[in-house]
Amino acid sequence: YLWFYVYLVTPIANLNNNVFSVMPQDNLRLLFWLLVPSSMGKYFLPQGLGPFLVQPTLTVCTSYVNSYLVAGYDGMLLFMTLQQLLIAVVAAFAVRERGSAKFAALSAVVYYVGLTIFDNPSTYLITAYLSLVVIAHSLWSSWRRGRLLSVDHE
């Protein structure tokens, strides 16, 4: 029971710790770089950008801590909006799939959404590419069926 509780509250505790302990940079222009893999974003984000943890071994802190550190409360809201828009776009492409491809695409969306509880999934290369694969496969299979831009209602 205790492990489950610690795992559940650590992301929120670390988010609260940063909101109440760290002064944000108020730079909305940097938010875009939080939506790309860290292999690209690290060149544009400030050095040493990272959360102030309650306990160093409990490292998860939701996907919104860095957006707060970069741009404050407005940054968190804008980042959440952009991230939900990204999820909606990928989900829209995922539901266009058929058969097992639909299951795999929707599983990728659920994985992305679930990971936002613990960290920013966009910064992981595999998660960022997984979203692109869902979109690319949906477009490719629609093109093969001859219905690239039509909405498929099964």
pLDDT tens per residue, range 62-117? 999 999 999 999 999 999 999 999 999 999 998 888 888 889 999 999 999 999 99
CB-CB contact of 35 with 83 (8 Å): yes
Measured between alpha carbons, how far is 33 from 45 in angstroms, rounded to an integer?
A: 7
Q: Quick check: pTM over 0.85? A: no
Length of the chain: 154
Q: Cα angle vertex 50, ends 47, 51, to 5°? A: 155
CB-CB contact of 135 with 90 (8 Å): yes
For 64, list phi and psi in degrees, rounded to 5.
-105, -5
What is the predicted pLDDT for the residue at 148? 59
Ranges of H-type helices in the chain: 2-21, 38-41, 65-94, 99-115, 125-145
Measured between alpha carbons, how far is 35 from 63 in angstroms, rounded to an integer?
A: 10
pLDDT > 70: percent of the chain = 95
